[in-house]
Amino acid sequence: MMKNNSIQLPLQKGTALVTALLIVALASVIATAMLKQQHIDIRRAENMVKGDQTILYLQAGEDWAKQLLNRDLIRSKNDSLSDNWANIDEALDIDGGSMQVTIEDLQGRFNLNNLLDKEGRASKLDITQFRNLLVALELDPELVQPVLDWIDADINVSLPTGAEDQEYLALEQPYRTANAPFVSSSELMLVKGFSREIFDKLAPYIAALPVRVDINVNTASIPVLAAVLGISLAESEDILSSRPERGYQDIAEFRGEQALTGKTVKGVGVTSQFFMTRVIVGLGRYNASQHSVIARNNKEAVLPLVIQRSRAKI
């Protein structure tokens, strides 16, 4: 009996040791998994907090831009590239990162929706100006025809290069014409004849604004000014080189330019209502941007209205 007990005792001790080791190993695995999950939860919470902070900073940047535009509306009678809103050069330091805010006058661009007048009919003046812009950028001026068909209310094709539903519905991935004003200039890539390359070349000089507007001669670029006035790029460059530092105070002063003698000056102004703000925020690993189109009331000193906003992670 003593011999049998002596054999069983080591076996029991060995089994207990193995069991203890298994329990320790299992506990280690569980602890590791818990730590890993905890790390993921912490990172997820951190990202959520950073994300919320970024959105708040984006909104703050937009609000600051609105205040600059509102202040400028009170202080000056025109809008020019010498205004404070047009000269925000340095990034702003924020807690844990940086914020960059820029403002661009969208009335320094050609408004695609100007191609139709207030009654929804084709505007001959604006069609000519858009053709001029296409030529200035070495693009086919006949591209204006499918653009007109895209935004006009009828289903009649503008010959010879226009396009309506029947052409788009025949594509591999069919769709219909909008038959409504452009909401975004990027819609052009859906229009017959417009490739990504053509759009990228045209994009810095066009906008899609909800109402008819004049081109601001104080902020227009060389190609846009040349297109609107029907002059050469060289003549446009000469006008811009002589543009007053504070911009033209009124259209009468602009018409007084020697280079414009005998020229028809229509569809231009020295004030603006629509602006685009870009806000870029970086908080550690979390980065985001926001583009907003702001409509400013030029009759009363009221805060601008955001009519379009888009956000994207970088």
Pairing of strands 110-111, 206-207: parallel
Q: Pick the more confident residue, 42 or 55.
A: 55
pLDDT digits (tens, 9 = 90+) for 207-260: 999 999 999 999 999 999 999 999 999 999 999 999 999 999 999 999 988 788
Residue 54 confidence class, pLDDT cut points 50, 70, 90: confident
A 10 A CB-CB count for 177 gives 22
Tally of CB atoms within 10 A around 58: 22
Contact by Cβ (8 Å): 134, 141: yes
pLDDT of 107 strictly over 60:
yes
pLDDT at 170 over 60: yes
| Distance, CA of 81 to CA of 89 (rounded, Å) | 13
Q: What gap in Å lies between CA 41 and CA 189, rounded to an integer?
A: 42
What's the mean pLDDT when you consider all of the chain?
88
268-301 pLDDT, tens digit each? 999 999 999 999 999 877 889 999 999 987 665 5
First to last CA, the chain: 79
Residue 245's pLDDT is what? 92
Amino acid at 275: F
The whole-number pLDDT of residue 209 equals 96
Structure tokens given for 49:
């907090």
Q: Can you tell me which residue has the tokens 């100006």?
A: 129
pLDDT of 7 reads 55
pLDDT band at 312 (very low <50, low <70, confident <90, very high): confident
Which domains does the chain possess? 50-107+273-313 (3.30.1300.30), 111-268 (1.10.40.60)
- For 296, counting Cβ atoms within 10 Å of its Cβ (0-12 exposed, 13-18 middle, 19+ buried), the class is buried
pLDDT at 85: 95
Whether the pLDDT of residue 5 is over 60: the answer is no
Residue whose C-alpha is closest to residue 294's, from 108, 91, 104, 87: 104
pLDDT in tens, 134-157: 999 999 999 999 999 999 999 889
291 is written with which tokens? Answer: 């583009």
For residue 304, pLDDT over 90 is answered with: no
The pLDDT value given to residue 42: 59
Q: Kindly indicate the confidence band of residue 302, based on its pLDDT and cuts at 50, 70 and 90.
A: low
Write down the pLDDT at residue 258: 79
Out of 45-49, 57-61, 106-110, 140-144, pick the least confident: 45-49
Give the span between the Cα atoms of 207 and 204, in whole angstroms.
8
3-state per-residue secondary structure call for the chain: CHHHHHHHHHHHHHHHHHHHHHHHHHHHHHHHHHHHHHHHHHHHHHHHHHHHHHHHHHHHHHHHHHHHHHHHHHHCCCCCCCCHHHCCCCCEEECCEEEEEEEEEHHHCEEHHHHECCCCCECHHHHHHHHHHHHHCCCCHHHHHHHHHHHCCCCCCCCCCCCCHHHHCCCCCCCCCCCCCCCCHHHHHHCCCCCHHHHHHHHHHEECCCCCCCEECCCCCHHHHHHHHCCCHHHHHHHHHCCCCCCCCCHHHHHCCHHHCCCCCCCEECCCCEEEEEEEEEECCEEEEEEEEEECCCCCCCCCEEEEEEEEEC
pLDDT of residue 198: 98
How confident is residue 47, by pLDDT bands cut at 50, 70 and 90? low
The answer on pLDDT for 197 being more than 60 is yes
Q: Is 65 within 8 Å of 279 (Cβ atoms)?
A: yes
Enumerate residues 6+ apart whose C-beta is below 8 A from 179.
Answer: 150, 151, 152, 153, 154, 155
What's the confidence (pLDDT) of residue 13?
64
Q: Which residue has the tokens 């809008």?
A: 79
Q: Which residue has the tokens 């004030």?
A: 271
The pLDDT assigned to 281 comes to 93
The whole-number pLDDT of residue 298 equals 61
